[in-house]
């Protein structure tokens, strides 16, 4: 097998998408949604498109003459940065921020390096959450990373033992069988952590071989969730270091998993032991 025919999604690294999520300990109310929407003006140059989201509540009354009534309240909003190719807007946004009553979701589809990712997450949260930083608790944060490799040759020549480590704790052995043309492997682990603060860590590892637009692809989707037993407040100042220390721990776990999964040649290909675009 010619390893040069296995192409990392982004060239120097394989990260197709990186997602950060922050869960609020209690739902945002209408006033808080309004304050975050106002604060989002500070990101207008980076996210030109804003779409409001609404939540519909249906109320049922007892009695033969009563009829259901519905009310519509602000449910959040979506910020998008669209990419362009040859002057045409691409269908998939480069970056998306979704603000809902329950959480903030930040999707980065143009990932380059971990330091840049972490800096941008901090910037977006600081801009949006400043007005509610003191009174709003956070119950958890999550990191999800999708690594994709594209095979540019005869599928019969794709030798998975040259890509994945035989004996990896995150893969079942039968994926290496010649007849295993398409497959999906899942592992999940729940661990109690004590440092830098107490939290419960859930790691999910999904590895698959798929056919996309007629091309064979290998995908590693890892998600890491830290759930705090007690809400964490003031994440923009007093608790900032703790929150981002936990995020860095989730990132290190992601790299540890990939090192266990991938052969040395593939690790070198995506610079996993260096910056890996991270």
The DSSP code for 170 is T
Statement: residue 163 has pLDDT above 90? yes
Cβ partners under 8 Å of residue 14, min gap 6: 8, 147, 148, 149, 220, 270
Whether residue 179 lies inside any domain: the answer is yes
Whether residue 83 lies inside any domain: the answer is no
Q: What is the pLDDT of residues 229-247, one digit of tens each?
A: 999 999 999 999 999 999 9
Phi, psi of 27 (to 5 degrees): -60, 145
Whether residue 177 lies inside any domain: the answer is yes
Whether residue 66 lies inside any domain: the answer is no
Whether residue 258 lies inside any domain: the answer is yes
Q: What is the pLDDT of residue 276?
A: 47
Domain that holds residue 21: 3-27+102-269
How many domains in the chain? 1
CA pair distance 156, 231, nearest whole angstrom: 52
Name the burial class of residue 178, with classes exposed (0-12), middle (13-18) and buried (19+) by CB atoms within 10 angstroms of its CB: exposed
- What is the residue-averaged pLDDT of the chain? 92
Whether residue 21 lies inside any domain: the answer is yes
Indicate the length of the chain as a whole number.
278
Phi, psi of 112 (to 5 degrees): -125, -60
Name the burial class of residue 239, with classes exposed (0-12), middle (13-18) and buried (19+) by CB atoms within 10 angstroms of its CB: middle
Statement: residue 31 has pLDDT above 70? yes
CA pair distance 243, 61, nearest whole angstrom: 45
Count of beta carbons in the 10 Å neighbourhood of residue 112: 16
Whether residue 92 lies inside any domain: the answer is no
Q: What is the pLDDT of residues 97-155, one digit of tens each?
A: 999 999 999 999 999 999 999 999 999 999 999 999 999 999 999 999 999 999 999 99
């Amino acid at each position: 097998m010619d390893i040069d025919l296995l192409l990392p999604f982004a060239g120097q690294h394989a990260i197709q998408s990186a997602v950060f999520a922050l869960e609020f300990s209690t739902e945002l109310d209408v006033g808080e949604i309004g304050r975050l929407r106002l604060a989002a003006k500070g990101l207008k140059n980076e996210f030109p498109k804003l779409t409001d989201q609404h939540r519909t509540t249906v109320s049922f009354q007892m009695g033969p003459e009563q009829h259901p009534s519905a009310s519509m309240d602000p449910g959040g909003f979506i910020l998008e940065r669209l990419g362009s190719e040859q002057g045409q807007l691409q269908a998939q946004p480069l970056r998306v921020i979704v603000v809902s009553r329950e959480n903030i979701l930040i999707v980065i589809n143009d990932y380059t390096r971990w330091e840049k990712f972490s800096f941008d997450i901090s910037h977006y949260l600081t801009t949006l959450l400043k007005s509610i930083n003191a009174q709003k608790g956070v119950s958890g944060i999550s990191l999800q990373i999708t690594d994709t490799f594209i095979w540019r040759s005869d599928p019969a020549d794709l030798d998975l033992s040259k890509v994945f480590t035989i004996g990896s704790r995150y893969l079942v052995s039968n994926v290496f069988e010649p007849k295993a043309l398409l497959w999906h492997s899942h592992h999940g682990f729940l661990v109690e952590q004590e440092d830098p603060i107490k939290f419960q860590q859930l790691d999910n590892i999904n590895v698959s071989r798929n056919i996309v637009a007629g091309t064979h692809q290998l995908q590693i989707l890892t998600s890491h969730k830290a759930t705090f037993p007690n809400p964490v407040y003031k994440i923009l100042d007093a608790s900032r270091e703790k929150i981002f220390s936990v995020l860095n721990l989730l990132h290190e776990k992601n790299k540890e998993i990939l090192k266990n999964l991938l052969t040395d040649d593939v690790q070198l290909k995506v610079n996993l032991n260096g910056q890996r675009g991270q």
